[in-house]
Amino acid sequence: QHNNTPAFVKVDEKLTEQGVVIKDLKTALIENSDLVQKYFMTDAVKADEHRLTALHAALVNGGVFVYVPKNVVVEEPVQYVVLHDDSDASFFNHAIIVTEESAELTYVESYLSTVPSNKGQLNIVSEVIAGANSNITYGTVDFMDKGFTGHIIRRGTADADATIDWALGLMNDCSTINDNTTYLMGDRSNCNLKTVVVGRGEQKQNFTTQIIQYGKESNGHILKHGVMKDSSSSIFNGVGYIKHGGTKADAQQESRVLMLSEKARGDANPILLIDEDDVTAGHAASVGRVDPTQLYYLMSRGISREEAERLVIHGFLDPVVSALPIEGVKRQLREVIELKVTTQI
C-alpha cells in the first residue's frame, strides 16, 4: 500500500483455488462483502467502544482482508507493506485476519516512513480471529516518523485449541498508545506475545498488553523488552486476566525496560487478575539503567562509549528478538534496531 492507495497485490493461484482470500480492504468490501461484514468490528474491536474506535470506523482509508477457510494451510507468509512518503497522509488502516477451523497462517506487516509527517494521524486497528484448532502467527515491524500521533489496536480472539502468536517490533519514532489484547475464549487455547521497543527523542509511548483467559487449560505468555534513549518515556502495562471458570489456566508475563540517559523514563506495571483458584500465574518486571561496570569493561578494551552502548542494547533485546517465530521479522527488526541505536533524530 502506497500511502492510502493499494499499489500491488499478488496471490498464488493455488491459494485462490482453495478459497483463500487476500485482498486490499476496499476490494474485499466490494467482492466479499458478506465475509467482511461478518468480521469487521463485530467481535475483537467494537466501533462504539470509545471515540477513537468510532473515528476509525468513520474514516477507514486503507487496509487488508485475509481469510483462510477450513483445513487450509498457507505455507508461505502473507506480507502486507505500507509505505509512507506523503507528508500530509494520515492512516486509518484496518486489517482483518481470519482462519477457520484447523487452518494455519503466518501474516507479516510493515509500516515504513521515508519522509517526515506533517502532524499526521495513525489510527490503526487489526482484528485477528482464530477458529477452533487453527494457528495464526502475526508479525509486525512499525517504523513511522515522529511527526505522527498514533493510536494502534491489535486484538485477537482464539477458539478451542487455537493459537495466536504475536511478534511485534514497535519501533515508531512518534508518540503512540498501543493496545494489544487477546481473548482466549476456547478451552486449551494459547497466546504467546513477544514485543520489542526502542524509544528515542522526546516521544511518549504507552503499551497495554492483555491476555484475557476464559477457556479451561488456556495458556497466555507475555514477554516485553524496551530500551529508552534521550528524553523518551514509556509505560508498559502487562495484564494477565484469568476469568472465573478458566480452571487450570496458565498466565505468565515478563516486562523489562532499560534506560540509557538520566532524562529517559520507563515504567513497568505487571498486573495479574485472577478469578479462579485452580490456576498457575506469575510475573516479573524490572526497570533500570545500563550497568556502568559493563560499559567500563567494554571501554577498557578500546571500544568507544557509543559502541559499548550499542552492544549492550543489542544484548538486552536479543533474547526477545531471537525468540520471535518469523525469520523475516527477526532480520528486519535487527536492522531497524541498529538504525535507531546509531542515528539521531
**What are the pLDDT digits (tens) for 211-233?**
999 999 999 999 999 999 899 99
Q: Is 301 part of any domain?
A: no
pLDDT at 328 over 90: no
Q: Is 309 part of any domain?
A: no
- Classify 279 as helix, strand or coil: coil
Q: Is 65 part of any domain?
A: yes
Domain that holds residue 164: 13-290
Grid cell for residue 243: 476469568
Question: Phi, psi (5° rounding) for residue 155?
Answer: -135, 150
Q: Is 339 part of any domain?
A: no
Q: Is 319 part of any domain?
A: no
CA–CA gap between residue 155 and residue 209 (Å, rounded): 10
Residues 6+ apart with CB under 8 A from 251: 211, 213, 220, 221, 240, 241, 242, 272, 274, 279, 280, 281, 282
Query: What is the number of structural domains in the chain?
Result: 1
344 touches 123 (CB < 8 A): no
Mean of pLDDT over the chain: 94
| Residues 58-74 pLDDT 10s | 999 999 999 999 999 99
| Residues 283-315 pLDDT 10s | 999 888 877 888 888 889 888 888 888 888 888
Position 39 confidence tier, pLDDT thresholds 50, 70, 90: very high
Nearest partner of 179 among 92, 239, 91, judged by Cα: 239
Rg (CA), the chain: 20
| Residues 100-150 pLDDT 10s | 999 999 999 999 998 989 889 999 999 999 999 999 999 999 999 989 999
pTM over 0.95: no
The per-residue pLDDT for 345 is 65
The per-residue pLDDT for 252 is 97
pLDDT at 248 over 70: yes
DSSP assignment of 222-244: EEEEEEE-TT-EEEEEEEEEEPT
Average pLDDT of 9-28?
A: 96
